[in-house]
Copies of this chain bind each other. A is one copy, B any other.
Amino acid sequence: MSSPPANAVVLLSGGLDSATTAAVARDRGFRLYALSVDYGQRHDAELRAAGRVAAALGVARHVVVKIDLAQFGGSALTGAMDVPKGRTDEQISHGIPVTYVPARNTVFLSLALGYAETLSAADIFVGVNAVDYSGYPDCRPEYLAAFETVANLATKAGVEGTLKFRIHAPLVDMTKAEIIRLGVRLGVDYGRTHSCYDPDYTGAACGRCDACRLRLKGFQEAGLTDPARYQD
C-alpha cells in the first residue's frame, strides 16, 4: 500500500497566482488545506473567487480567517487611498506600489504556519512572485528564506524536529505569461479567479488597474484569451 498524501497549506487569495500555486501543490501529490484571509479588502469578489477555486481543486478544507488590517491604515487595498488606474508598465514595475499592505505576507504566512502546525503539515505554498511585482519586498526569495527560518524556530513541531517547515513559492521567478501557461497545463480554470483591485458591484474587472493590466498582458504574451469577466 502507498502512504497517504501529505498535508499542505495553501494561501488562496482567489487570484490567478494563488490558484496556479494550489494546482502545483496538488500536482505534487499534496492533500490541500486552503487558507484565505479576509483582511478588510474593499470588495469580497476575491473571497468568492477563492471559494470557487478551492471547490474546483477539491481541497480537504477551506478556512477563511477574518482580520481587520484596515484598522492600521496605510494602503489602497484596505480603503485608505485610491487605486491607481491606467499606469504604464514602467510605472507598475518601478518602486513599491501604493497598493502595498504593511506586512501582509508576514501576517498571511504566520497564519498559514499556525494552521500547518495543527495539521502536521510541513509544507506551505504561497503564490508570491518577484518578477511582475518587484515592488513588494515580501515577495522576494530572501524574504521567504528568512520566514522559513522563523517557521522552524517558532513552532513546537519545528523545535522538536517532528516537522521541517518549507515555504514553497513555485511561481517566484516566473513571468505572468509563464504562470498562465503552467496553470492551463495543470487544468486551472482562470475564469474562476479574480485579480482586479476595483471591480464593479457584479464582480466584473475594471481592466485598468495594475492587477488587471498585468493579468491581461500575461494572457496576451501567453497567446491566450483571459476568460475573466470585464466591465463593458
Contact = CB atoms under 8 A, between A and B. Distances in A.
A184 interface: no
How many copies of this chain are found per oligomer? 2
A106 to B, nearest CB: 4
A153 B118 CA distance: 27
B154 A103 contact: yes
A156 B114 contact: no
A107 interface: yes
Main secondary structure of the interface of A (DSSP, over half): helix
A103 B117 contact: yes
Contact of A117 (B102, B110, B159): B102
A60 interface: no
Interface in A32-79: 63, 65-69, 71-74
A50 to B, nearest CB: 15
B118 A73 contact: yes
A113 interface: yes
A150 interface: yes
The contact size tier of chain A is 35 or more
B67 A63 contact: no
Interface string A129-159: 0000000011010110011011101111011
A195 to B, nearest CB: 22
Given A114-B104, A137-B156, A154-B137, A66 B68 contact: yes
Contacts of A111: 67, 103, 107
A159 B137 contact: yes
A105 interface: yes
Interface of A: 63, 65-69, 71-74, 96, 100-107, 109-111, 113-115, 117-118, 137-138, 140, 142-143, 146-147, 149-151, 153-156, 158-160
25 contacts: A63-B72, A66-B66, A66-B67, A73-B118, A74-B114, A74-B118, A96-B159, A101-B114, A102-B113, A102-B115, A103-B111, A103-B113, A103-B154, A103-B155, A106-B110, A106-B150, A106-B151, A107-B111, A107-B114, A137-B153, A137-B154, A140-B153, A142-B153, A143-B150, A143-B154
